[in-house]
Copies of this chain bind each other. A is one copy, B any other.
């Protein structure tokens, strides 16, 4: 297979994240935090004033600025593209808005095969995202990676079917089980949208990508394997040719780590609920060893420096144990979920410094 690696991709040297992702020994423990860009930073709240969340994701200078803010402030080893799970839907023309304090709300919920057949597929460029990525790449140091981002189709499907955020995903699960043909039709329409959204980012020069399946932890392994895994696998396969590290993560997916690992990523994000060494055993049993990402409980950033030091040491030791046992090939430090909105920015900076210490 000839890999068509985009000419624009930066050749990173001494990037701790890419070193760890590729099984090399990084110079320091690489770290980035999910949701490091956003509400925890006063400079973010400042630049977002009067601009809706979704609009900001389509403004190249602004999305670049927001993406870069935490890199400047916290000295993390990667930027994560500021975006939202529903951005590719909006780009395809689907009516969606992000309601503050609530989340993505669709103009119309999708419930029938007829609704699904009308769902737009993203099949063209999103120049605003590509331009934003260009600005980010120009500003990042060579040691700092840019991680691209897409929501997995199950999570997108849940928003579309429920019409917005859901605590129980009952309409989504009901469709899976009682109208499986409609469900699979929907996943068939969402999968190319996610692939195209990732390819746009790859062409623009991201260095790694993360497929977020935020709500996968609400499924049994059985349902996950039947209704979700084939599509996440196809997405990860389609971008494999570009040879950039692929991360796969969902919240509260301890029971699904093996199944999610089978989707094909090089790196598995681990929720804080499962110790990394135990997570690595599950991943190793399913697919052989991979790089681990995680998994500090974001609530610990409210508990003060001493607690963070202790927790960071524990997590590093668990990762080391997994690597020593041959169950993992590396470790990228991260939280076990996103930065909580009220986290003091200073606590984030301090935590990054503690992680880098040794």
Interface residues of A (CB under 8 A from B): 168-174, 176-178, 217-222, 252, 254-255, 272-275, 297-300, 302-304, 306-307, 311, 340, 342
* Given A220-B272, A307-B177, A307-B178: A170 in contact with B302 (beta carbons within 8 A): yes
Query: When the two chains form their complex, are residues B173 and A300 in contact, meaning their CB atoms are under 8 A apart?
Result: yes
Give Cα A168 to B302, complex, Å. 11
Majority secondary structure, A binding face: helix
Query: When the two chains form their complex, are residues A299 and B220 in contact, meaning their CB atoms are under 8 A apart?
Result: no
Give Cα A303 to B169, complex, Å. 12
Q: Name which residue of chain B comes closest to A336, CB basis.
A: B220
* Given A170-B340, A298-B170, A340-B170: A303 in contact with B177 (beta carbons within 8 A): yes
Query: When the two chains form their complex, are residues A174 and B220 in contact, meaning their CB atoms are under 8 A apart?
Result: no
Closest 3 CB pairs of A and B: A170-B299, A174-B302, A173-B299
Query: When the two chains form their complex, are residues B300 and A177 in contact, meaning their CB atoms are under 8 A apart?
Result: yes
**What is the distance, in angstroms, from A118's C-beta to the closest C-beta of chain B?**
23
Query: When the two chains form their complex, are residues A168 and B340 in contact, meaning their CB atoms are under 8 A apart?
Result: yes
Q: Name which residue of chain B comes closest to A302, CB basis.
A: B174
Kindly list chain B residues whose C-beta atoms are within 8 Å of the C-beta of A169. Answer: 299
Query: When the two chains form their complex, are residues A274 and B255 in contact, meaning their CB atoms are under 8 A apart?
Result: yes
Most buried by B among A178, A300, A304: A178
Given contacts A172-B299, A173-B299, A221-B275, 10 further A-B contacts (CB under 8 A): A169-B299, A170-B302, A171-B302, A173-B297, A173-B300, A177-B311, A178-B303, A217-B273, A220-B297, A222-B275
Contact among B172, B298, B303, B311 with A168 in the assembled complex (CB-CB below 8 Å): B298
Kindly list chain B residues whose C-beta atoms are within 8 Å of the C-beta of A174. Answer: 299-300, 302-304, 307
Kindly list chain B residues whose C-beta atoms are within 8 Å of the C-beta of A275. Answer: 220-222
**What is the distance, in angstroms, from A196's C-beta to the closest C-beta of chain B?**
31
Kindly list chain B residues whose C-beta atoms are within 8 Å of the C-beta of A254. Answer: 254-255
Kindly list chain B residues whose C-beta atoms are within 8 Å of the C-beta of A304. Answer: 174, 177-178
A-B contact pairs, 15 of them (CB 8 A): A168-B340, A170-B342, A172-B299, A173-B297, A173-B299, A173-B303, A174-B304, A177-B307, A178-B304, A178-B307, A218-B273, A219-B273, A220-B273, A252-B252, A254-B254
